[in-house]
A and B are shown apart, each in its own frame.
Chain A
Amino acid sequence: MDIDWSQVFNFSSLIKCFIVGGLICVIGQILIDKTKLTPARILVIFVTTGVILGGIGVYQYLVDFAGSGATVPLTGFGYNLAKGVIEGAKQSGLVGVFTGGVKAAAGGIAAAVFFGYLAALISKPKMKKQ
């Protein structure tokens, strides 16, 4: 199949993605440096923020603008959950609320479980250098 590489390396889409994705990471870096939050808490905060912003529809604008710059950070994972839940609610009511979110994020979750286990199996445990 022919791929139009000029569309793939569309400069404006890549630069928007780079800047927005970078800025979201800078927010995380400021949280790491200025607060005593552990990385685990920061991940939880980012996902929950994504769910809330996705739920009220604000995050959609960022996704439309920046594409992967907004969906690749963990806020995008939260946005995906919220979007799936709302779609599920529209389609099948209360059952959809429970099935929609995980359904939308299923690819990522399953890949993380599968590749995570596989990578841990092949890894060689290494003593931590202090």
Chain B
Amino acid sequence: MNPIESKQTYQEYVEKKSPNSPILKNCFNAFWVGGLICTIGQIISNICKERGLDIATSGTIVSIILIGISAFLTGLNIFNKIGKFAGAGSLIPITGFANSIVSPAMEYKSEGYVMGVGGKMFTVAGPVLVFGISASILVGIIYMIFNTQSITFV
């Protein structure tokens, strides 16, 4: 084996030697857990469809149910175990959004129910809402510029 010459070659050597199976395993776990959460959503949405609800309403019902379940699972410290196993599989679905609200709120519970729980709920969800809503308003403004002849204010 050649002597390790510089920091960079050492880095390359370490990367070559370190096992790259975790990423495959992580991706596999993320795939099936994420897929399963979405499938649960699809089953709920199919039930709503069978009951004659429109797509938008069933989508809202799916979100509310999944958010409710994952919020309480986070409160019971169960969701964190799923998250450790599944990684992005539980983070990327809407369940991760609920988890990101409850986790910091639980952590700062000792700081009180208003500024502790109520305030820290939005440490992660706040940015998500800020960027999501701002981007959607930009999309709307661009849409109005290109798709309507005259911009109407009301």
List A residues at the B interface (Cβ < 8 Å): 1, 3-4, 7-10, 13-14, 17-34, 39-40, 42-44, 46-48, 50-52, 54-55, 66-69, 71-74, 76-78, 80-82, 84-86, 88-89, 92-98, 100-102, 104-105, 107-109, 111-113, 115-123, 125-126
Q: A117 to nearest B CB, angstroms?
A: 6
Cβ A115 vs Cβ B72 within 8 A: yes
Cβ B140 vs Cβ A89 within 8 A: yes
Cβ A115 vs Cβ B68 within 8 A: yes
Range, interface on chain B: 35 or more
Judged by DSSP, the binding face of A is helix
Judged by a CB distance under 8 angstroms, whether B16 is at the interface is no
Q: Which of B68, B94, B101 contacts A74 (CB 8 A)?
A: B94
Cβ B75 vs Cβ A119 within 8 A: yes
Residues on B with beta carbons closer than 8 Å to the beta carbon of A13:
42, 46
Cβ B64 vs Cβ A108 within 8 A: yes
Residues on A with beta carbons closer than 8 Å to the beta carbon of B96:
39, 43, 74
Cβ A43 vs Cβ B91 within 8 A: yes
Q: Which of B56, B127, B136 contacts A81 (CB 8 A)?
A: B136
Cβ B144 vs Cβ A97 within 8 A: yes
Q: A62 to nearest B CB, angstroms?
A: 12
Cβ A97 vs Cβ B137 within 8 A: yes
Residues on B with beta carbons closer than 8 Å to the beta carbon of A34:
23
Q: Which of B97, B113, B141 contacts A77 (CB 8 A)?
A: B97
8 contacts between A and B (CB under 8 A): A25-B35, A39-B124, A40-B124, A108-B97, A112-B125, A120-B117, A123-B77, A125-B109
Cβ A107 vs Cβ B124 within 8 A: no
Cβ B97 vs Cβ A97 within 8 A: no
Q: A90 to nearest B CB, angstroms?
A: 8
| Given A39-B96, A55-B139, 20 new contacts (CB under 8 A) | A17-B41, A22-B30, A29-B89, A31-B88, A40-B123, A51-B135, A55-B136, A72-B41, A74-B97, A74-B128, A80-B59, A81-B132, A85-B139, A85-B140, A92-B154, A95-B154, A112-B125, A118-B72, A119-B71, A119-B102
Cβ B102 vs Cβ A3 within 8 A: no
Residues on B with beta carbons closer than 8 Å to the beta carbon of A100:
140
Q: A56 to nearest B CB, angstroms?
A: 8
Residues on A with beta carbons closer than 8 Å to the beta carbon of B115:
none
Cβ B31 vs Cβ A3 within 8 A: no
Which among B88, B100, B107, B142 has the greatest number of chain A C-beta atoms within 10 A? Answer: B88
The CA-CA distance from A7 to B67 in the complex, in Å, is: 25
